[in-house]
Amino acid sequence: MAATNNEEERIMARGLNPPGPLLIVKKRLKTIDAIRIRVIVSSREAAEDLVNYFETRGAPSEIDRAGEDYHVVVDLRTFKDVG
């Protein structure tokens, strides 16, 4: 499930173990117009998997904790998809 506005798109990936959230994000990246995404996951491991993926592709990211969830916020302006 995703919600969007011009600046940020939210991708809900709760309850999925890695690499599930990353696979969902990779698919959504093909259609995203926003300059920032917020991926909501249930585990620190899933959040760190996403941060590693984006940082190796030049996109700064950070992890925020919100209750039981982890929010991975990514700035896509410098993202370079390498496949």
pLDDT digits (tens, 9 = 90+) for 44-71: 999 999 999 999 999 999 999 999 999 9
According to CATH, what is the number of the domain 2-78?
3.30.110.40
Domain boundaries, the chain: 2-78
Q: How many CB atoms lie within 10 A of CB 27?
A: 10
Is the pLDDT at 2 greater than 60? The verdict is no
Q: Are 11 and 2 in contact (CB under 8 A)?
A: yes
pLDDT confidence of residue 4: 54
pLDDT confidence of residue 82: 74
Q: What does the pLDDT look like over 4-26, one tens digit per residue?
A: 557 999 999 999 999 999 999 99
Is the pLDDT at 3 greater than 90? The verdict is no
Strand partners for 73: 38, 62
In the chain, DSSP assigns E strands to: 2-4, 8-12, 36-41, 61-66, 69-75
Closest CA to 83 of 62, 53, 61, 60: 53
Q: Are 38 and 20 in contact (CB under 8 A)?
A: no
Is the pLDDT at 73 greater than 60? The verdict is yes
How would you classify the pairing of strands 8-12 and 36-41? Answer: parallel
